[in-house]
Amino acid sequence: MKHNRKNLVRIGAAVAAGLGAAALALSTTGANAEEAAADGDFDAQIIGGRPAADGQFPWTVALADAADPSFNYCGGQLIEEDVVLTAAHCTEGSAAADVVIRHGDTDIAQTDVYEVAEIVVADGFDGATMVNDWSLIKLAEPITGAETLPLADADTGDWGTLTVAGWGTTESGSMSPDLLYTDVPYVSADDCAGAYGAEFDAATMICAGDLANGGVDSCQGDSGGPLVSADGVLVGIVSWGYGCAEAGNPGVYANVGLLHGDITAALATL
Ligand code: ARG
């Protein structure tokens, strides 16, 4: 059962690699709705979220299909005016010409479309285990004047209340046209290992969610998007989880504080 649910994450990754809108619709409405019905505790958008205000997440972007820019399938964040940091499982197998970046509005339909020059997937990324789930996208042209998001440069332990945002799957099982966000409590590495056993890799991952009650989480389509601290640094990148917003199964994120050295080294080569 749990393995089936982790397989849903793989469906998300396959979609990101270009299977198309129909596949995403199937994976979200079909699979998630069934899981929801089976579990009885599947709840709400970005799961437990509310619409973002203009300017609240100014560095947020979506990854979309260059052949159909209305099909956005992952999130990301500008860390330079011409560099997006996202999840490796969102870009693996995609050429620069396959992907466009959407930015500039909370309403996805109002965002501008930007071309991609280069994609760099983390060297140590493993799509089976999701270790090192980060990747860099260099834009063809900078988005001049755009705000950028600073990266956590260490894992300081208890981050307190974190915030996650995205256009991903909502309670209705489809993507959200409006950028949604929710607060998610930090979950310690010990507690996350308790939830996921060896599938949680403390060297590259960090967890967040309401472990006891569920109800708040990222979900399919939010991958690559931001987990930010109260003081405004990028702590995590949406990566995977069993189901969405289930009690006992927190969201798992690439641990930016621990991966900071690798990310900045790759950034220097762009
Ligand atoms: N892998 C998913 C994606 O491609 C994100 C899943 C996040 N799941 C969670 N329970 N937080 O969009």
Q: What is the pLDDT at residue 166?
A: 97
Q: What is the pLDDT at residue 267?
A: 97
| Tens-binned pLDDT, residue by residue, of the chain (270 aa) | 233 333 333 333 333 333 333 223 223 332 333 333 333 333 334 778 899 999 999 999 999 999 999 999 999 999 999 999 999 999 999 999 999 999 999 999 999 999 999 999 999 999 999 999 999 999 999 999 999 999 999 999 999 999 999 999 987 788 999 999 999 999 999 999 999 999 999 999 999 999 999 999 999 999 999 999 999 999 999 999 999 999 999 999 999 999 999 999 999 999
Residue ranges around ligand 1 (CB below 6 Å): 9, 12-13, 168, 217-223, 238, 240-241, 244, 251
Q: Token pair of 18, please?
A: 């270009």
C-beta neighbour count of 30 within 10 angstroms: 13
What residue's CA is closest to ligand 1, atom 6?
240
Q: What is the pLDDT at residue 68?
A: 97
So which residues are the catalytic ones? 89, 133, 223
Tell me the pTM: 0.86
222 Cα to the center of ligand 1, angstroms: 6
Q: What is the pLDDT at residue 7?
A: 30
Question: Environment class of residue 160 by beta-carbon count within 10 Å: exposed (0-12), middle (13-18) or buried (19+)?
Answer: exposed
8 A C-beta contact, residue 209 and residue 187: yes
Q: How far is CA 155 from the centre of its chain?
A: 19
What residue's CA is closest to ligand 1, atom 2?
220
- Ligand 1 nearest-atom number relative to CA 8: 1
153 Cα to the center of ligand 1, angstroms: 24
Q: Could you give the dihedral angle defined by the CA atoms of residues 74, 77, 80 and 81, in that order, rounded to the nearest 10 degrees?
A: 70
89 Cα to the center of ligand 1, angstroms: 10
- Ligand 1 nearest-atom number relative to CA 168: 12
First to last CA, the chain: 41
39 Cα to the center of ligand 1, angstroms: 17
Q: What is the pLDDT at residue 16?
A: 39
Contacts of 30 (CB under 8 A, 6+ apart): none
- Ligand 1 nearest-atom number relative to CA 89: 4
Q: Could you give the dihedral angle defined by the CA atoms of residues 156, 267, 115 and 101, in that order, rounded to the nearest 10 degrees?
A: -10
Q: Which of 28, 222, 252 has the most ligand 1 atoms within 8 A of CB, as the residue to mutate?
A: 222
61 Cα to the center of ligand 1, angstroms: 16
Q: Which domains does the chain have, with CATH numbers?
A: 2-51+151-258 (2.40.10.10), 60-148+260-267 (2.40.10.10)
Which candidate, 175, 177, 185, places its Cα nearest to that of 245?
185
Q: What is the pLDDT at residue 34?
A: 33
What residue's CA is closest to ligand 1, atom 11?
251
Please say whether the dihedral angle defined by the alpha carbons of residues 122, 123, 129 and 131, taken in this order, is positive or negative: negative
Q: Token pair of 208, please?
A: 């967040």
Which residues does residue 103 pair with via DSSP β-bridges, in sequence order? 61, 112
